[in-house]
């Protein structure tokens, strides 16, 4: 008689609820949701410090502006509703992590077939908590390598600046590399002008002047980008926004990318499509702006 061997099963502790949909602990949306069908929606990704949303008002105002642009009716009490959702999620945690990532997604709700939407259809509201990413190689201090992507962004002024759900261009650009030593990809618009990174905004410095692409034709006006522009003005660092060819970047003294989770990452190397490389040092303006963000509690 053969002996039946049973494999010991390792049971994991169930994860705490981290997602609310319209104020309820759920994990799914109806297939008719317009965010799924058409990308008709918006999202915000926010750093939480001890449960406090960093730059909350700036994120809220961008969300409202985007909703207006996409004809998504937000209730007058949307701020109170979102903060109440966050409080419910935080209350489920046995202890409060130093940092977390809060993601808010708003879709136009569930509509029938076709692009037209019934004005009476309620929106869908998704609030999620995620662990803050770990960066053991300390990219904020040591810098990162990036590459220039071949995927280009369409010029679409109606969608420029806002954080809408249509991110396929960024998905395609990010699919261009898989090596872990490249931390970000830089993208151009359809006419060949610098725009941003796949997940970040782009700045560079030359002769003491700070440069960043204008984002009235495509790209996302990041919250940290706007904070950097404000801090540069306070510290009397000259700033120029405009349409810049990629060659402008290679003449820079220092380069960095930024977003609401990474704050500022200095760029120390960029690989071109033909594998040529440009290199930069981590410069004083980058370090000044990093310190300024930290001093204001933004990161």
203: β partners: 256
Catalytic annotation present for 248: no
Catalytic annotation present for 196: yes
CA dihedral 285, 286, 292, 294 (to 10 degrees): -160
Which of 169, 184, 196, 254 is catalytic? The answer is 196
Alpha-carbon torsion (60, 64, 69, 73), positive or negative: positive
Calpha distance 212→201 (Å, rounded): 8
How many other C-beta atoms can be found within 10 angstroms of the C-beta atom of residue 150?
12
For 128-144, give one letter per residue: b (16+ CB within 10 A) or e. Answer: bbeeeeeeeeebbeebb
Which of 163, 184, 212, 271 is catalytic? The answer is 163
CA dihedral 53, 215, 267, 258 (to 10 degrees): 0
Calpha distance 172→40 (Å, rounded): 19
Order of strands, edge to edge, in the sheet holding 19-21?
A: 24-25, 19-21, 124-131, 99-107, 41-49, 52-53
Q: Please give the positions annotated as active site.
A: 45, 163, 196
């Amino acid at each position: 008689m053969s002996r039946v061997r049973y494999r010991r099963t390792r049971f994991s502790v169930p994860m705490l609820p981290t997602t609310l949909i319209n104020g309820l602990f759920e994990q799914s949306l109806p297939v008719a949701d317009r965010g799924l069908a058409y990308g008709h929606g918006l999202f915000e990704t926010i750093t939480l410090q001890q449960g406090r949303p960093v730059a909350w008002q700036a994120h809220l105002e961008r969300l409202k502006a985007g909703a207006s642009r996409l004809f998504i009716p937000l209730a007058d009490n949307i701020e109170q509703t979102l903060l109440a959702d966050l409080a419910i999620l935080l209350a489920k945690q046995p202890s409060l992590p130093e940092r977390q990532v809060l993601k808010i997604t708003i879709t136009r709700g569930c509509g029938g077939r076709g692009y037209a939407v019934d004005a009476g259809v309620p929106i869908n509201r998704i609030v999620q908590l995620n662990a803050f990413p770990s960066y053991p190689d300390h990219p904020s201090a040591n810098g990162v390598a990036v590459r220039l992507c071949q995927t280009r962004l369409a010029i679409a002024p109606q969608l420029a600046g806002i954080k809408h759900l249509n991110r396929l261009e960024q998905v395609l650009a990010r699919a261009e590399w898989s090596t872990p030593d490249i931390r970000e990809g830089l993208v151009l618009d359809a006419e060949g002008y610098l725009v941003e990174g796949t997940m970040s905004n782009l700045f560079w410095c030359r002769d003491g002047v700070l440069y960043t692409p204008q984002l009235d034709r495509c790209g996302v006006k990041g919250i940290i980008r706007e904070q950097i522009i404000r801090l540069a003005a306070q510290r009397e660092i000259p700033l120029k926004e405009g349409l810049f060819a990629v060659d402008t970047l290679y003449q820079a003294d220092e380069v960095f990318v930024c977003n609401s989770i990474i704050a500022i990452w200095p760029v120390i190397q960029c690989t071109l499509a033909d594998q040529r490389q440009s290199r930069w040092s981590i410069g004083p303006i980058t370090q000044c702006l990093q310190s300024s963000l930290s001093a204001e509690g933004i990161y």
